[in-house]
Structure 1
Amino acid sequence: MSGDGEGGPDILCLRFRRAGGGLPDGAGYAGLLALLGAFTPVVEALPPDGALADVSGALRYFGRDARGLASLIRVRALALHGVDCAIGAAGSPLAARMAARRAAPGSTCVVGRGEEAVFLAPLPVAALDGVGAATARTLCGYGLDSVGRIAAAPLATLQRIVGVRTGRDLWERANGIDRSRVEPNAAARSIAAERSFPRDELAPGEHRRALLSLTEELGARLRGEGQVCRALAVSVRYADRTGYATLTRSRTLREPTAHSAALTALAYRIHESFGLQRARVRGIALRAEGLGDAGRASHQLTFDPADERARRIEEVADLLREKFGPDAVKPAGLAA
């Protein structure tokens, strides 16, 4: 779409992918945020794989439009960190995020100011920020299956369907109205891992198997580094009618932990909350957030012999992996 130049878009949303595929690690992600910081101090981290940047000052300084500045950032990210970027450029954070999801790695999708509603109109309602699977099913049941139909619906009708506040927020987003700003922040301390399928995977059992593998990997890394995490974020990349979309949700653990069983249980619950029955999933990523020193973390005693036994087995498994390698011990669910 057009719209570069004077009065054009000045918000960039970047999605990072290593040149060989996969997410950047924690140190790499921090380096990418620092790279953006060299262009503008107004950078908002969007773990596990993105960032928002208000580049209004940088456009004037570098004498480039949004597309040109995005190209410069992409070249530096690839040269310095081996990471490619899918970039969305728009006049608001909402439109920039939506544009980044439609941009392929190595490309920039630009949404001009005043063109937000036109850009959003053909997208399925589930692609709109803030619309979960349950809300999307409800709206589709009333024939409101695209963002354009949401935008054209009477506000009062939407409010009767989903509630007064939610209805207004939904109507404004569908019409490209976004009052939010880029909020500078630091990336929370976190570690991440990802599993990609060689082709779109429909089997829920394979999705759960990937999650189990991820929680085992992150749990072992946390315990090996003497750390615990306070929250988990699950990202699912799946095929929809317009290409590929990514859903990310995070939840806080009952207590800071590195116990793989606790991480797996929460990861399964987050995944189930997406409601992606028969979804064609291409990849799943997991990020452990809010890392802290395991020595300072408290553990609520449960007097549950099964939990105690699982923790003892975990300790022995960690010792065996340290001695014989990471594949020495695996859960039964990952056995070939």
Structure 2
Amino acid sequence: MTTSRHISHLDLDAFFVSVECLKNPVLKGKPLIVGGSGDRGVVAACSYEARRFGIHSAMPMKLARRLCPQALVISGDMEDYSRYSKLVTEIIADKVPVFEKSSIDEFYIDLSGMDRYFGCSLFVADLKKTITKESGLPISYALASNKLVSKVATNEVKPNGQLEIPFGNEKSFLAPLSISKIPGIGKETSELLNRMGVETVHTLSEIPAPMLHNLLGKNGIELWRRANGIDESPVVPYREQKSISTENTFQADTIDIQFLQAQLVRMTESIAYELRKQNKLAGCVTVKLRYANFDTVTKQSSIAYTGADHILLETAKNLFRQLYDRRMLVRLLGIRFTHLIPGNYQISIFDDTQEMIRLYQAIDSVKNRFGETTLKRARGISSLPVHPRNSRQ
């Protein structure tokens, strides 16, 4: 006998926009764009009113202004968004034993077994009310037997909606939807399937799995499973102690500030690349120093979630300046990123141009292909040897 799971997906509605409207209620109900202020900037988020004009995230700001000249444009404040994200995370952590933070504004919660007690439907409905009451932010959710169906269902009832898909109704719920609603079907795959006459999830689910495998490889099998509402992926418990770090013990103790700063740049750049490669953002930076007498000191700073070198570097440099106050020989230098969440570089950018985004993408593309040491900042190059001790968890 198969025991049904109870998985809920929760998604803060137009999160960046909702935070701005909470700070300034005058903005409610208006076409609002959060993003870079110049023509070369990009849209980080937009209100549902702005979406009616065809505006969407990652769109060039120049095009967005053309589609909706009356839209209000604000630069955004990632520190505020990070703060509210952490607030909602704390509310969920206080109420739910097992939850996964899948992005800055999305969560999965596993309520399996709770139907015997309080009831899953009542619990998640009450959680929605609590989040809205304590944070002031609107949130939508869906309750289903797996992560896939719950996420798709949430997207169907936004904004400020709620929906339950009873166990056994997964296929019938998905069947009439466009194939573009299924996670993992991008523009190219969607166009390919459309040319074959496959437009709905129902039609996709009827294609034999071996045929989809021949057409799309391993991804074809996974798409067949999704079209049939099958998803056994677990809710991965959220753990903030996950980190990416590196430290270097020098062959010779040093007081050379330029050398130490060069090492800091090199190490920060290295693990920032690792952060982006894992599609994560960091919410805290820690710098560690060990002096020649083996005294070890650390200093950390909470930051707005980011994966951008220039922000992480500036934070690391500021921490180093505050930390290195003894003017003693240094034996070891380390840096660590913590408070990691899934996400990508783009969502943390509001003032950067399209060129800056493309520059990061190009740098990471070169590093992915030829190795991370092929490109580095000149400031991070030094001649003194070190003994690296890396920890990337």
Shorter-chain TM-score above 0.5? yes
Query: How big is the shift at 1:120?
Result: 0.7
Structure 1 partner of 2:229: 176
Three-state SS of the structure 1 residue aligned to 2:142 is strand
User: Which ranges in structure 1 are unaligned for 5 or more consecutive residues?
Assistant: 1-6, 192-216, 231-247, 270-297, 303-336
Change (3 A) 1:268 1:124: farther
Structure 1 partner of 2:50: none
| Correspondence 1:136-285 to 2 at 5 A | 136-163=190-217, 165-186=218-239, 189-190=281-282, 222=311, 226=315, 250=344, 260=352, 263-265=356-358
Distance 1:266 1:173 in 2: 35
| Largest Rg, 1 or 2 | 2
Distance 2:158 2:208 in 1: 34
Q: Deviations over 1:238-274 (max 9, x none)?
A: xxxxxxxxxx98479xxxx9994674225888xxxxx
Change (3 A) 1:267 1:16: farther
Query: How big is the shift at 1:144?
Result: 1.2
Distance 1:259 1:102 in 2: 31
Query: Given residue 219 of structure 2, which amino acid in structure 1 is its aligned partner?
Result: T
Q: Is the 8 A contact 2:8 2:150 kept in 1?
A: yes
Query: How big is the shift at 1:84?
Result: 1.3
Structure 2 partner of 1:46: 102
Q: Is the 8 A contact 1:144 1:150 kept in 2?
A: yes
Distance 2:138 2:351 in 1: 33
Change (3 A) 1:267 1:96: farther
| Correspondence 1:29-40 to 2 at 5 A | 29-40=85-96
Distance 2:175 2:139 in 1: 25
Q: Deviations over 1:294-326 (max 9, x none)?
A: xxxx95229xxxxxxxxxxxxxxxxxxxxxxxx
Distance 1:249 1:133 in 2: 21
Query: Given residue 86 of structure 1, which amino acid in structure 2 is its aligned partner?
Result: S
Structure 2 partner of 1:65: 120
Q: Is structure 2 residue 123 aligned with structure 1 residue 123?
A: no
Q: Is the 8 A contact 1:223 1:258 kept in 2?
A: no
Q: Is the 8 A contact 1:45 1:186 kept in 2?
A: no
TM-score normalised by L of structure 1: 0.55
Distance 1:166 1:250 in 2: 22
Q: How many residues align?
A: 220
Query: Given residue 56 of structure 1, which amino acid in structure 2 is its aligned partner?
Result: S
Q: Is the 8 A contact 2:177 2:201 kept in 1?
A: yes
Distance 1:227 1:119 in 2: 49
Structure 2 partner of 1:87: 141
Query: How big is the shift at 1:57?
Result: 4.5
Change (3 A) 1:222 1:73: same
Distance 2:162 2:191 in 1: 31
Query: How big is the shift at 1:65?
Result: 3.4
Query: How big is the shift at 1:86?
Result: 0.6
Three-state SS of the structure 2 residue aligned to 1:12 is strand
Query: Given residue 378 of structure 2, which amino acid in structure 1 is its aligned partner?
Result: L
Q: Is structure 2 residue 5 aligned with structure 1 residue 15?
A: no
Structure 2 partner of 1:96: 150
Three-state SS of the structure 1 residue aligned to 2:159 is coil
Q: Is the 8 A contact 1:14 1:85 kept in 2?
A: yes
Structure 1 partner of 2:378: 301
Could you say which structure has the greater relative contact order, defined with CA pairs below 8 angstroms and 6 or more residues apart?
2
Query: How big is the shift at 1:176?
Result: 0.6
Three-state SS of the structure 2 residue aligned to 1:83 is coil
Q: Is structure 2 residue 131 aligned with structure 1 residue 77?
A: yes
Query: How big is the shift at 1:103?
Result: 1.5
User: Which ranges in structure 2 are unaligned for 5 or more consecutive residues?
Assistant: 22-27, 29-46, 48-77, 241-279, 284-305, 318-335, 363-374, 380-393
Change (3 A) 1:145 1:75: same
Query: How big is the shift at 1:93?
Result: 0.7
Structure 2 partner of 1:133: 187
Q: Is the 8 A contact 1:14 1:100 kept in 2?
A: yes
Change (3 A) 1:259 1:36: closer
Three-state SS of the structure 2 residue aligned to 1:87 is strand
Query: Given residue 220 of structure 2, which amino acid in structure 1 is its aligned partner?
Result: G
Distance 2:192 2:146 in 1: 27
Change (3 A) 1:181 1:137: same
Q: Is structure 2 residue 28 aligned with structure 1 residue 28?
A: no
Aligned-residue CA RMSD in angstroms? 4.0
Structure 1 partner of 2:252: none
Query: Given residue 46 of structure 1, which amino acid in structure 2 is its aligned partner?
Result: S
Three-state SS of the structure 2 residue aligned to 1:53 is strand
Between 133-142 and 11-20, report the one with greater CA deviation: 11-20
Three-state SS of the structure 2 residue aligned to 1:69 is helix
